[in-house]
Structure 1
Amino acid sequence: YQKDAVISSKVLTGKADSPEAAKFKDYFDWSEPLAKAPSHRVLAMRRGEKELFLMMRITLPDEGAAFAAVQALFVKARNPAADQVALAVQDACKRLLAPAMETEMRLDSKKRADEAGIKVFASNLRELLLAAPLGQKAVLAIDPGFRTGCKVVLLDRQGKLLHNDVVYPDRHPDEAKEKIAGFVKFFNVEAIAIGNVTAGRETEAFVRTLKLPPAIPVVMVNESGASIYSASEVAREEFPDHDLTVRGAVSIGRRLMDPLAELVKLDPKSIGVGQYQHDVDQTALKRSLDDTVVSSVNGVGVELNTASKQLLSYVSGLNAATAAAIVARRNEHGAFKSRAELKEVPRLGPKAFEQAAGFLRIRGGAHPLDASAVHPERYALVE
């Protein structure tokens, strides 16, 4: 079965003309060797079956030959019982063995498709997290929309919200042009971020008609998960006096400035890392995506004096409680001047310091190596 099985799918009777079935059109009459079927096709067929549009089967191309081979194992000579044994073998193959093997192949193909799919999703997430950051620039961010208008926010170089407004490029283009051009000039905007949702392309085209200075880039930003962030406890804590639309626009601007720092505030699964991410093993997916976030954060390193507690919590040796303690100490006593000051943070013990110190950076600190990946234990070696 593992070598020769064929996976096939057919549309269920009466479902071919259903509008919802159109997305499975490619699988209305499909078959291929199971061993060569890529994970996304296996997952697509399984989803079509789950949504009652397709019937999926895993069978052998020549079941008769396979059954004959099984029969040869049990019927070894001609005797009065041979015909009865042969009938029993044929019945067992059709009624018991074939369905059992199909069930086993379904489980095995699902497991392999999950593993391959999760690997792709983790790779997609890593690309999003490690996208090149714009850096500390004043940003004008726009969350596009036709009916409710485009939400506009102005962020300073540290990502702090300075101002927010709503413009209607489709209904009041002159007013929208005047406002955006005024914001760019008054706040010394250095870049413009536009969410890639409905009306995103139209908004980008509109902004490009403003004839802004060529030094100001206009960038489409992946907005996946921004709505989830805007309704989260993290966003409510940071912007208690602003509604969901403002929080979402702020997230778009910050994603342009530093994708990693902003995306770690979300559950990795809500970022949208693949078409079939909800069809794979969710426990394995969560574990893989969490590991990807951790490795990405620690691979890049974290600026100790500007990082949020969500970002700090992914640093090796730290957790949500110690990350919150670091931020509280920073708010109370000001910026850390050296990595050694981490030892003064409550609940951050020697072991946690040993694990975390090498991944935390301090620009302009008391020791130049505090801005590097060199661990404090190895400073003497470098010096």
Structure 2
Amino acid sequence: MTLTQYITTHTQLPQKGIENTIQLLNEDCTIPFISRYRKERTGNLDEVQIGEIVKFKTQFEALEKRKNAITKALEEQEVLTAELKQKIDSCSDLIALEDLYLPYKKKRKTKAETAIKNGLEPLAKIIMSQRSDAIEHIASKYLNDTVQNEDEALEGARHIIAEWINERTDIRNNIRYQLDNYAIITTKVVSTKKDDEKAQKFRDYFNWSESLKRCPSHRLLAILRAESEGFIRVKIEIDHDRALAKIDDRIIRSNNECADQIELAIKDSYKRLLFPALSNERLKKAKEEADDDAIKVFSKNLKQLLLGAPLGEKRILAIDPGFRTGCKIVCLNAQGELKHNETIYPHAPQNKDKEAIKKISSLADAHKIEAIAIGNGTASRETERLVKRIAFKNTVEVFVVSEAGASIYSASKIARDEFPNYDVTVRGAVSIGRRLADPLAELVKIDAKSIGVGQYQHDVDQTKLKNSLDTVVESCVNTVGVNINTASASLLSYVSGIGSKLAENIVDYRNENGGFGSRTDIKKVPRLGGKAFEQGAAFLRIKQAKNPLDDSAVHPESYSIVRQMAKDVNTPISDLIGNSAVLKEIDLNSYCTENVGLPTLQDIVKELEKPGLDIREKAKMFTFDQNVRSITDLREGQLLPGIVNNITNFGCFVDIGIKESGLIHISNLSDSFVKDVNEHVHLHQQLIVKVLQVDIARKRIQLSLHKKI
């Protein structure tokens, strides 16, 4: 099976598109570049489809690598036959491949290996032939110094037969089928940990049982975490009698003493070899599937968070609220540069609210503040109420901003490099303010796992999670585009074809030369060659450039097409941009060439209509119910404003302005069936929710969706 055939089988995408995409990937092209600027070659495949090609390309390469390793091992053992080689070559699944290799795989010393060394393999073959009734008499012929009697001989022969049974692919696949379709996962609390305070969050699973096939990913991950922390024990069960009967039907063909020995060997093989290995394999498979589900949810949430509404270039006063240690205040200019910082103490125990109000008011006036960003952690609501008491001279919008991951950023090398002369509290407040201005530009500085928009991110496969989240960040950054003259190295590093080293070189060049005047200038960056320019130039924006196309998503390789369009309609490029009436009249077919087709030309015209348009919504203010300050203020039936702050497969969590977030279970999102929570709500969406149930002891709040704001 070729790579193209393998990917086609798994994706059903057009073969030509797959072949060309593979070629582009092998030429070190990135997914954003391929999906946006090579549509003719891929057949207009989008980022998701190209991502699937990348995934299955990686899987195929891993499969081929394992095939080569197994083939080499079999050649060294001198057991590789033409038939076995053909089976290996045609194998398209890692599990099936390992089953083929199992009989030849070097094992730790086994009971079967010992029996073979004791000369009992011929006896095992006689038993498997099922032709004799005098099996004890035959066994007596195989006694020696290590095999003292007939029972020992028969036991050794059964060990050999048990291993043969364990190595049969048909038997293993039959048990796999039963595990896939009928396995039950059961849990039991560890009695000594039952009253452990940390175990209480898992008490729903102290005595749990359900179909493994139907166990939702979030529940399986919770169960496995509880097991790893030592609170419960987990078992996988199937109907063992049925499984044994299936094996009997495949092997036993007689009703004599040989059949009795084989039946004993079957039970031993099943209990000692087959079921432990295959049930662990099935649980591992279920864990991998749960990981994939959790990573998908995390990735969707991260994308929504990164593409959250920016306020834009505004002068912002940011507050990192606190009680005892006070509230750290920073003032940022429209470019996000730190202009002032200090600490106020409006809350207990100091209670200097009047001084705080006076200070915030004077800073807002002095720095011509247009918006205030308040972190949503400790003392957030109290600080928000304080700020809303202030009568500002000019209009000042007030926003509550998520602090998730801010502490990670403030202690990071990136933050230390940005603000070497300030402590973590100042850096954290700056991050809060910059998040309001541009969530994407600020959040890329933080390890995505630390942002906290998913569940069980520390329990899933970390390599898969990192790869998936990096892909999401790369996609978001390149979808929005980056101002090369203001972007941080962290943001630039995610631009197609750039990476961390070139990003640093770009910043160094900018610092030394005062920025870039055109996209052509980008080529002057040390070590930024033609390939990097091809991959990244169209995603890098240059404001107020001499060539207006430098502030658009039109690739430099297509500038000549735009020039020809402008010439044909007798209009300067600057006047063509934004002129929808003229652009709609252009006959795109006349600009088609062997390499440029309608998909690319349509993208060019769409971009010319609104060049450099930010696809994100604009940030808007939100106010919580001022009468609700803690969970004890909630009553069933209340309608409250809230903001979605996390999304899972089973529902979404909503910030209603108190310490505890409420849950809208998937069944309470709509009157009709909900398949995907993300189809109904998105992160930071503003809602009106209804309180269904309040469990103060467990700090749980059940909500339903009343309406979207």
Shorter-chain TM-score tier: over 0.9
1:257 Cα deviation after fit: 0.5
Task: Identify which range, 300-309 or 31-40, moves more after superposition.
Answer: 31-40
Gaps of 5+ in 1: none
1:83 Cα deviation after fit: 3.5
User: Alignment partner for residue 155 of structure 1, among 311, 326, 332?
Assistant: 332
Residue 221 (str. 1) matches residue 398 (str. 2): no
Aligned partners of 1:103 and 1:162: how far apart in 2?
58
Gaps of 5+ in 2: 1-178, 564-709
1:230-245 equivalences in 2 (<5 Å): 230-245=410-425
Aligned partners of 2:385 and 2:324: how far apart in 1?
18
Residue 49 (str. 1) matches residue 223 (str. 2): no
Q: Deviations over 1:90-121 (max 9, x none)?
A: 34323332222221112111111111211221
Query: Aligned letter for 1:98?
Result: F
Task: Identify which range, 349-358 or 265-274, moves more after superposition.
Answer: 265-274
Which consecutive segments of 4 or more residues in structure 1 shift more than 6 A?
none
Aligned partners of 1:213 and 1:47: how far apart in 2?
54
Q: Deviations over 1:233-267 (max 9, x none)?
A: 22112211111100010011001101111111122
1:253 corresponds to which residue? 433
2:558 corresponds to which residue? 378
1:322 Cα deviation after fit: 2.1
Residue 99 (str. 1) matches residue 279 (str. 2): no
1:287-366 equivalences in 2 (<5 Å): 287-366=467-546
Q: Is the 8 A contact 1:71 1:90 kept in 2?
A: no
1:80-95 equivalences in 2 (<5 Å): 80-95=257-272
Task: Identify which range, 88-97 or 37-46, moves more after superposition.
Answer: 88-97
2:362 corresponds to which residue? 182
Distance 1:146 1:98, change over 3 A: same
Aligned partners of 1:214 and 1:101: how far apart in 2?
69
1:205 corresponds to which residue? 385
2:300 corresponds to which residue? 123
1:85 Cα deviation after fit: 2.9
Distance 1:332 1:2, change over 3 A: same
Aligned partners of 1:148 and 1:108: how far apart in 2?
48
Distance 1:176 1:115, change over 3 A: same
Aligned partners of 1:101 and 1:374: how far apart in 2?
54
| TM-score using structure 1 length | 0.94
Q: How many residues align?
A: 382
User: Alignment partner for residue 64 of structure 1, among 230, 238, 241?
Assistant: 241
Aligned partners of 1:8 and 1:80: how far apart in 2?
38
Aligned partners of 1:104 and 1:329: how far apart in 2?
53
Distance 1:217 1:57, change over 3 A: farther
Q: Is the 8 A contact 1:255 1:262 kept in 2?
A: yes
Q: Secondary structure at the match of 2:188?
A: strand
Q: Is the 8 A contact 1:318 1:356 kept in 2?
A: yes
Query: Aligned letter for 2:189?
Result: V
Q: Deviations over 1:268-290 (max 9, x none)?
A: 22222322011111111111111
1:150 Cα deviation after fit: 1.0
1:162 Cα deviation after fit: 0.9
Aligned partners of 2:389 and 2:240: how far apart in 1?
66
Q: Deviations over 1:32-68 (max 9, x none)?
A: 21112222111111110000001111211x3322222
Query: Aligned letter for 2:541?
Result: R
Q: Is the 8 A contact 1:191 1:216 kept in 2?
A: yes
Q: Secondary structure at the match of 1:249?
A: helix
Aligned partners of 1:7 and 1:169: how far apart in 2?
53
1:253-272 equivalences in 2 (<5 Å): 253-272=433-452
Distance 1:90 1:321, change over 3 A: closer
Query: Aligned letter for 1:32?
Result: E
1:320 Cα deviation after fit: 2.3
Q: Deviations over 1:330-375 (max 9, x none)?
A: 2222232211111222222222211111111112110111111001
Query: Aligned letter for 1:329?
Result: Y
Aligned partners of 1:95 and 1:310: how far apart in 2?
53
Q: Is the 8 A contact 2:365 2:393 kept in 1?
A: no
1:168 corresponds to which residue? 345
Aligned partners of 2:381 and 2:234: how far apart in 1?
39
Identity %: 56
Aligned partners of 2:217 and 2:235: how far apart in 1?
16
Q: Secondary structure at the match of 1:218?
A: strand
Aligned partners of 1:9 and 1:132: how far apart in 2?
44
User: Alignment partner for residue 20 of structure 1, among 198, 223, 229?
Assistant: 198
Q: Is the 8 A contact 1:230 1:244 kept in 2?
A: yes
1:80 Cα deviation after fit: 3.1
1:328 Cα deviation after fit: 2.2
Q: Secondary structure at the match of 1:36?
A: coil
Aligned partners of 2:214 and 2:397: how far apart in 1?
44
Residue 32 (str. 1) matches residue 210 (str. 2): yes
Q: Is the 8 A contact 2:298 2:455 kept in 1?
A: no
1:213 Cα deviation after fit: 7.2
1:215 Cα deviation after fit: 4.2
Q: Secondary structure at the match of 2:201?
A: helix
Aligned partners of 1:52 and 1:214: how far apart in 2?
58
Query: Aligned letter for 1:313?
Result: S
1:177 Cα deviation after fit: 1.6
Query: Aligned letter for 1:18?
Result: D
1:225 Cα deviation after fit: 1.5
1:211 Cα deviation after fit: 4.7
Q: Secondary structure at the match of 1:90?
A: helix
1:81 Cα deviation after fit: 3.4
Distance 1:77 1:211, change over 3 A: farther
Q: Is the 8 A contact 1:303 1:362 kept in 2?
A: yes
CA RMSD of aligned residues (A): 1.8
Aligned partners of 2:378 and 2:529: how far apart in 1?
49
Aligned partners of 1:235 and 1:380: how far apart in 2?
42
1:149 Cα deviation after fit: 0.9
1:130 Cα deviation after fit: 1.0
Query: Aligned letter for 1:10?
Result: K
